[in-house]
Amino acid sequence: MNRIWPGGKRLSLTFDSASAIVLGEFKDCDEPRGEPSAKGVLAALLKDFEGPVVYGFPSGHTTAPFVTLPFGVRARVVANGRSRLIIEEAGVE
């Protein structure tokens, strides 16, 4: 897990091997007055990340139909206007 302390310093190298980041929808995670917003906090934390960051993927805690993401499989992120996640191999053999 990547922990970020005041000042924005990351204490883990978890993101160093990532080529893309896929984030969920974060339903009802914003403060009542709108600031800070979950999307704004994540954007600030990931501002130096060089790969694509996809926000709003329907997985995890969501109220809409969701997608189950298998761990340990190859996947590809396409972020060129219509972002999508392509899982390139089966979760089980």
Q: Dihedrals φ, ψ of 10, to 5°?
A: -80, 140
Q: Is the pTM of this model over 0.75?
A: no
Could you tell me the residue ranges of all domains in the chain? 1-93
Q: Which residue has the higher pLDDT, 48 or 7?
A: 48
Q: Residue 40 is inside which H or E element, if any?
A: helix 38-45
Looking at the DSSP bridge assignments, the partners of residue 10 are 4
pLDDT at residue 13, as a whole number: 55
Nearest to 62 by CA among 35, 28, 87, 27: 27
CA pseudo-torsion sign 46, 79, 14, 87:
positive
What sections of 1-93 are H helices per DSSP? 38-45
35-49 pLDDT tens trace: 788 888 888 888 888
